[in-house]
């Protein structure tokens, strides 16, 4: 179902406090489906451990949800901003340029780890979607590069042609084990 959500491109206004900001409707729906429980759990943990960081992370659709959570937390809990860090892996583009620039300008760490992964190319930029910054790029030689504050700049994913993108790279991010393969196979069973 995650794959189906990735390829439906409709955008909706979000967050309401950022004029002109639009995000992928299915990504936002997936986040909102879990948001209240997540925020309640994080609120309890922040009260219990006030000196700890709030680290948001996710792969693929989970990365899109982590980016949305970071923005949501920044708006609804400005007292948490100094605690927030977000790390996404192989995340698709979440929103338009307004959203991307707004999220990139927030005063917390947000890193978008990427490699020659075809999933990170959707939704297409020509449809108005743009990645947020800071891209951390693993190039084809497994060299790590920080690509500056532009979410779509070189030498990151935009340095590759479509023929250099590889589907299997999506399943080969550092720290992902064979369980990702099992989840992928199970998702194929659901689709077909």
| Cβ-contact 81, 46 below 8 angstroms | no
How far is it, in rounded angstroms, from Cα 38 to Cα 140?
A: 36
Q: Tokens 């993108």 correspond to what residue?
A: 165
Angle between helices 97-104 and 61-76 (to 10 degrees): 60
How far is it, in rounded angstroms, from Cα 50 to Cα 25?
A: 33
Tell me if residue 51 is catalytic: no
Q: Which has the closest alpha carbon to 56: 112, 119, 129?
A: 112
Tell me if residue 142 is catalytic: no
Kindly name the residue from 2, 6, 21, 60 that is annotated as catalytic. 60
Kindly name the residue from 2, 6, 72, 117 that is annotated as catalytic. 117
- The DSSP-derived string for 8-35 is ---EEE-STTSTT-EEEHHHHHHHHHHH
Distance of CA 176 to the CA centre of its chain: 16
Catalytic residues, by residue number, are 60, 117
């Amino acid at each position: 179902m995650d794959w189906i959500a990735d390829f439906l491109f409709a955008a909706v206004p979000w967050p309401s406090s950022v004029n002109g900001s639009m995000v992928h409707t299915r990504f936002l729906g997936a986040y909102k489906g879990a948001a209240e429980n997540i925020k309640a759990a994080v609120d309890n943990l922040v009260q219990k451990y006030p000196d700890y960081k709030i680290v948001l992370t996710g792969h693929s659709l989970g990365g899109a949800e982590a980016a949305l959570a970071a923005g949501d937390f920044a708006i609804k809990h400005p007292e948490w901003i100094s605690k927030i860090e977000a790390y996404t892996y192989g995340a698709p583009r979440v929103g338009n340029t307004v959203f991307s620039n707004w999220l990139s300008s927030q005063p917390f760490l947000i890193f978008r780890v990427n490699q020659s992964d075809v999933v990170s190319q959707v939704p297409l930029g020509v449809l108005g979607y743009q990645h947020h910054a800071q891209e951390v790029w693993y190039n084809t030689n497994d060299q790590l590069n920080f690509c500056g504050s532009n979410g779509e700049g070189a030498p990151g994913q935009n340095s590759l042609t479509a023929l250099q993108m590889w589907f299997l790279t999506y399943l080969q991010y550092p720290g992902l084990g064979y369980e990702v393969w099992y989840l992928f196979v199970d998702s194929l069973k659901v689709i077909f």
